[in-house]
Amino acid sequence: MLDFSEIKDKDGQSFENLICSLLSLLGYKILKGPGIGQDRGADIIVEESVGNFDNGYRWLVSCKHYTGSVGQGKDGADARKLTEFRCHGFMFFYSSSITESLQQSLSEVAKNSGAGLEIYNGFQISNLLLTNVKCYPLLHQFFPVSSMPFFNTLFRPGEDYCDHCGPYRSHPAFFVFSQGANGKIDTMLVCCDCIALFMPNYPYIEKEYSYYQIRDCYY
């Protein structure tokens, strides 16, 4: 599991930015992103394409970044906020765990208001990040230490050449991840010369992909 203590901010802004970026990469349309100051109970608002909703299904997103378990005194669901922000469901993200009483409270409000409800704790957020290859750049941005053991399992020791043009031109500067429909993760080391030629064509091979730079370009 990722170590959420690496996200150090007193106002929760970085955690909200993580969740906003994660939802965007997962295909949600961001209608309202994180902001500084009072948010009137709406950290983030996103829209999901759903067949029965002409304008999309809108989620009211709450983000709470605490070191201990989150209980009813620290969070809750308010059905009036759905009307205020024209949303259809609640989505809650917690960097830690939540108490059973809070989970029951959220479920009751959602049930009584006919709203959708999705709850993600730290373990489930970690799972979303680690199993969706297009989210891998977020691991390096927000979890540079605790994500390294995971990435070390993907590196190939002793190989230091571009998988696209071979070992005779330049050293690889980018690590490319791809993921097919079967969920298998493939990796490539790509040099600076090839990244500009290689990546624009990558979306056409029907795989999710992402990449990040592992060293400066030099020749």
For residue 142, the SS3 value is: helix
Residue 148 counted as domain residue:
no
Query: pLDDT (tens digit, 9 = 90+) per residue, 172-216?
Result: 677 777 776 666 777 777 888 787 776 666 554 556 777 777 677
Decide the pairing of beta strands 208-213 and 172-179.
antiparallel
- Per-residue H/E/C for 27-89: CCEEEECCCCCCCCCCCEEEEECCCCCCCCEEEEEEEECCCCCECCCCCCCCHHHHHHCCCCE
Residue 189 counted as domain residue:
yes
Query: Is there a single domain that holds both residue 75 and residue 161?
Result: no
Say if residue 69's pLDDT is above 60: yes
Query: pLDDT (tens digit, 9 = 90+) per residue, 21-40?
Result: 999 999 999 999 987 656 56
Contact present, 195 and 152 (Cβ < 8 Å): no
Contact present, 22 and 61 (Cβ < 8 Å): no
Query: Is there a single domain that holds both residue 72 and residue 124?
Result: yes
Say if residue 118's pLDDT is above 90: yes
Q: Which of 133, 168, 201 is the last residue of a domain?
A: 133
Number of domains in the chain: 2
Say if residue 110's pLDDT is above 70: yes
